[in-house]
Structure 1
Amino acid sequence: MPRMKTILLAALLLVACNEPSNTGLLGYVEADYIYAAPVSAGRIIEVVVKRGDSVAAGAKLFTLDATDETAKRDQAAAALEQAKAKLADLQTGDRPEELAVIQAQLDAAKASMTLSVPRVERRRTMVKTNIVGVEQVDEAEAALLADRGHIAEYTARLAAAKLPARADQIAAAEHAVNEAKSALAAAQWALDQRQVTAAAAGRIEDVYFRPGEEANAGAAVLQLLPPSNLKLRLYVPEPELGRYKIGQRLAIACDGCAAGQTATISFIATAAEFTPPVIYSRESRAKLVHLIEARPDDTALPWHPGQPIEANPVP
């Protein structure tokens, strides 16, 4: 009989040791970092933030050398001005100096005609008395016709010179102006990218480059953590999965944390997995669990990625 009591006591102790403790869901804080990187390679000339700084959205983070981009922007601006000048020239016709030359030629032709008309009349009278021959009359009449032709020519040239260029030439010049505007916008964008700003408000978690170093395109220069990118990774045993749903609030506890912290479940994995080794719990070890992600309700609290946490459903 004493031996039976000993066996029963040992069995009860074994069951008590294997019974999972009511510690809630175990997990840790994780973060989705933003990595600030240049769109093109270059030498870093300035880093205005340091590790641990809090920055606002749009704040300057670092600057790359922009000598080449500045020259290309200035070149594109000059090309635009040239295209605009050519378009304006086509729309306004010839220059005043060119119009003055044609006007002077027209005036000279009119002055010549004022002499040709009486000369013809005189020679027609003189041929009747045989003072001049018929050939001289013909010469005077030919000169009069030439003056009239010159007047007609210069009048037409003056009118044409005052007209703008043909419609197709003006259209081509307008396209050239639009193309130059696009080239200037692209050059200005490339210049603006030499100064990298914060995509969101947050804290600088790490800085990988220093002034004077070369950064490749797409290479992260620093690491930024917006508070909204914090999340809690929790693991629920498969038998208890039905207790949790998206939108449910959880009470969060951690070492050194203030009481009353909560989070809202934002994701529940459909596939099961084994408990990750970072969850140090004898009861959870080697069990099949489902991942749950929750977003802290108060992102202003000092959450730290990698920090172990415990969660329980809010009653």
Structure 2
Amino acid sequence: MKTVYKIVVLLFLVSTIFSCTTKKNKPLEGKIKRELIGFAPKVTGRILEIYVKEGDLIKKGDTLAMLDVPEVHAKLSQAKGVLKAASAQRDLAKNGATANQLTQLRAKQSGIKEQFKFAQKSYARAKGMFADSMMTAQAFDETTAKYLGAKAQYDAVNAEMNEATKGVRTESQTAAQGQKDQALGVVQEVEVAYSERYIIATNEMLLETISLHEGELATAGYTLFNGYQPLTTYFRFTIPESKIGNYKRGQAITIHVPYAKTDINGKIVTIKQLARYADITAAYPDYQIEEAIYELKIVPSDEDKVENLLVNATITLN
């Protein structure tokens, strides 16, 4: 019985020593990372053509896809019609009446002028006769009313003629110009939306995934193209509070890439605390639950050397 007990104790001690040695010698694990980027349409439309494929190196300004947006095309036609009407109103307000309208107004002015002269002469005679008591008050009042009516008509046609020859008042011209500017703004807005049927790359990217295919509906804001920005590789490690004192910002670090069997020199650029335990990178972490967890971000000394490394591959830090 004592022999069995000794064997159990011995096995326990050996297991403990082996476990401690393994944990002590186990290197810290991290991941290879790159900066992600995605491109999404600003308008909703059906995909007509995709001009790139997964694995392509996309350059800034490349056209990635074209969408069919018939609704925007219809709005563009409507906006151009409104602009044409507003432009005509503005020109009418600025230029005044046409030659035919001026001819008609001159004829109208001439006829009313003759009527006014006749009424004026009649009023002058009636005034003298009324003063000599040769006309009743009723007849004089009727003559006076005709004279005043003819004078009002003559003043009105003169004002109409003046407006036709000089154009409408400044306020009306300004209002017409404002309506044209507003319509022009609507056209420009719709033209911008229509140009968004082309999805253009704004940055360089190594295209990794294309979310949809030709013929499918792409909604505004939905990312169609995902990939990594070139020359943005970095290494990420999660370090427990008990070991973070061994690392300083700016410290030179050597990273080992097991699958590539190579070592990479780098430098620690940031050390920040992680708010969530799920952000750790080690597959089998051995941290105390009460410990704070920190992230090391290490950039390589030679970007070209790490450009072909696989994203999310495991790396170690001795």
Q: Give the structure-2-normalised TM-score.
A: 0.69
Give the superposition deviation at 1:271: 5.5
Amino acid aligned to 2:93: L
Q: Structure 1 residues 299 and 205 mapped into 2: Cα distance closer, same or farther (>3 Å)? A: farther
Paired residue for 2:286?
286
Q: Where does 1:205-220 land on structure 2 (aligned, <5 Å)?
A: 205-220=208-223
Q: Distance in 2 between matches of 1:297 and 1:303?
A: 14
Q: Structure 1 residues 166 and 72 mapped into 2: Cα distance closer, same or farther (>3 Å)? A: same
**Number of residues of Structure 1 aligned to a counterpart in Structure 2:** 274
| Residue pair 2:29, 2:281 contacting (<8 A) in 1 also | no
Q: Distance in 2 between matches of 1:54 and 1:257?
A: 26
| Residue pair 1:246, 1:268 contacting (<8 A) in 2 also | no
Paired residue for 1:266?
270
Paired residue for 1:244?
247
Give the superposition deviation at 1:98: 1.2
Amino acid aligned to 1:208: S
Query: Which residue of 126, 138, 163 maps to 1:160?
Result: 163
Across the aligned residues of Structure 1 and Structure 2, the Cα RMSD in angstroms comes to 4.0
Structure 1 residue runs of 5 or longer lacking an equivalent are 1-6, 117-144
Query: Which residue of 292, 296, 316 maps to 1:310?
Result: 316
Give the superposition deviation at 1:67: 2.5
Give the superposition deviation at 1:270: 5.7
Structure 1 residue 18 and structure 2 residue 24: aligned? no
Give the superposition deviation at 1:187: 0.7
Q: Structure 1 residues 83 and 245 mapped into 2: Cα distance closer, same or farther (>3 Å)? A: farther
Q: Structure 1 residues 91 and 298 mapped into 2: Cα distance closer, same or farther (>3 Å)? A: farther
Structure 1 residue 233 and structure 2 residue 239: aligned? no
Q: Structure 1 residues 36 and 99 mapped into 2: Cα distance closer, same or farther (>3 Å)? A: same
Q: Structure 1 residues 80 and 258 mapped into 2: Cα distance closer, same or farther (>3 Å)? A: farther
Amino acid aligned to 1:40: V
Q: Distance in 1 between matches of 2:207 and 2:193?
A: 25
Q: Give the structure-1-normalised TM-score.
A: 0.70
The percent identity for this pair of structures is 23
Q: Where does 1:35-54 land on structure 2 (aligned, <5 Å)?
A: 35-54=38-57
Give the superposition deviation at 1:219: 2.6
| Residue pair 2:28, 2:282 contacting (<8 A) in 1 also | no
Q: Distance in 2 between matches of 1:276 and 1:106?
A: 93
Give the superposition deviation at 1:46: 0.7
Give the superposition deviation at 1:256: 1.7
Q: Structure 1 residues 36 and 275 mapped into 2: Cα distance closer, same or farther (>3 Å)? A: closer
Paired residue for 1:119?
none
Q: Structure 1 residues 296 and 195 mapped into 2: Cα distance closer, same or farther (>3 Å)? A: farther
For 1:199, what is the secondary structure of its paired residue? coil
| Residue pair 1:274, 1:287 contacting (<8 A) in 2 also | no
Give the superposition deviation at 1:28: 0.7
